[in-house]
Structure formats: C-alpha cells, structure tokens
Amino acid sequence: MTLAWLSGYGLQLLYGAGVTLSVAAMALLFGTAFGLSLGALKTYGSKPFRYVAEAYTAIVRGVPDLIVIYLIYFGGTVALTRLTGHYVDINGFAAGVAALAFIFAAYASDIFRSAIRQVPRGQSEAAHALGLPRSVAFFRVVLPQAWRIALPGFGNLSIILIKQTSLISVIGLEELLRASAVVSGATREPFFVYAVAALLYLAITSTASWGLHRARLRSNRGFA
C-alpha cells in the first residue's frame, strides 16, 4: 500500500489498537482486584457474603456480554443523570472498562477460589501460629502460592479479555474493531483492512501470551 495510506488510515488503526490495549489493561487491573475479592469471599466469607458473590457470578455468567455492556453504559447515564439532576453522558472508555472488568471478575473469582482452596491448610495455620493477622497471612502466605496455581487459568482468561474489547465498539468507543470498520468504509477494502486488524490483534495476544508464559516460568521456579 502507499505511504499515504499507511500514514493516514494505518495510524488510525494503530490508534485503535492503542485504545484496545488501554481498555484491556485497565479492565484487567480492576477485574483482577474485584475477582480476587470475590474469590476470597467465596472461600472465607460468611454465608450471606458467599451467597451474594455466587449470585453475582451466576448473573454475569448467565447474561450475554453485550447486554452487560449496554446495561452499564446506558444504566450509568441514567444513574448519573438522576444523581446530578441534569443529563450526563457517561464516558465510553469508562463504561467499557467497567463492563469488561465486571465480566472478567465473575470468571476470575472461580479461578482464584479454586487456587486458594488448593493451598494446604497447614500454610495458613502455621502463619496464624506465628501470630500473623488473618489478612497478613492471606497476602503474604496464601496468595503467593494461590497465584502460582491460578496463573494458567488466569492467563487464558486474560487473552479472552483482550479479544472481548472488540465488543465495546457498540458503545461508540473507537477501539481497533471500530477503527477497522471506519477505515474499511472509507477505503472500500474491507478484506485488507480487517486482515490488518487481525494481525494487530494477533500481535497483541501473542505478546501477552509470551509475557504470561514468562510469568508462569518465574512463578514455578523451585517447583518440580
């Protein structure tokens, strides 16, 4: 293709890829924190909290991802409008991050719960015997071991999250898929444009897979 195409439409696709990376990174950060909290509640929480966590997971997993995105985007607008007394149009980036983080957390919570339960009970009992508070024992003793166990499933879920960012194109955020749609309409070359988008997605997910593989190797050092 010509240099003009690369400097114009190519940059637009690269910008979309940057938005995709930003959304995925933010959703991964918040989704991991929320998912870990839900996993801990399912393991250590009292019955009411466990029921709430299980209900949240069941609802999010049972509803199509697109509906979750629409509910947060339009529901956030309605909620902010009622709170402030005037119309507020919720930011598409914030809505996309929140929706993907909530979806990610629902699945990650079961991964973390399973990993936490696989840590020998004697580890936490030994920490308590040393006088460590329960929260300190969890973060310093249980969580590092659970993280090693959870990492393979967590990694697979993270790759899925990157691909799920394509769904937020429906709320107007110009991530990679929406940028591809705009460029393909302008150039009338949909096959070529979407092929380039596919290569960009492949580059992003391959890099993430490599990083996760390195993290697994590092976390498994000293283990057979």
Better pLDDT: 119 or 70 = 70
- So what's the pLDDT on residue 192? 87
What stretch of H or E contains 109?
A: helix 92-118
135-139 mean pLDDT: 77
Better pLDDT: 222 or 64 = 64
- So what's the pLDDT on residue 100? 95
- So what's the pLDDT on residue 30? 96
- So what's the pLDDT on residue 1? 52
Give the single-character DSSP code of 131.
Answer: T
Contacts 24+ apart (CB under 8 A), 183-187: 183/9, 183/12, 183/13, 186/9, 187/5, 187/9
Better pLDDT: 143 or 180 = 180
- So what's the pLDDT on residue 84? 77
188-198 mean pLDDT: 88
Sequence length of the chain is: 224
Largest CA distance in the chain: 69
Q: What is the mean pLDDT of the chain?
A: 86
108-124 mean pLDDT: 86
DSSP-based three-state secondary structure for 206:
helix
Determine which of 91-95, 108-112, 160-164 has the lowest per-residue pLDDT on average: 91-95
Determine which of 19-28, 128-137, 162-171 has the lowest per-residue pLDDT on average: 128-137
140-165 mean pLDDT: 89
Residue 180 has pLDDT above 70, yes or no: yes
Residue 135 has pLDDT above 60, yes or no: yes
C-alpha distances (whole Å) from 22 to each of 26, 39, 75, 125, 145 are 6, 25, 23, 40, 29
- So what's the pLDDT on residue 223? 57
Residue 23 has pLDDT above 80, yes or no: yes
Side-chain half-sphere of 8: how many Cα atoms within 13 Å?
10
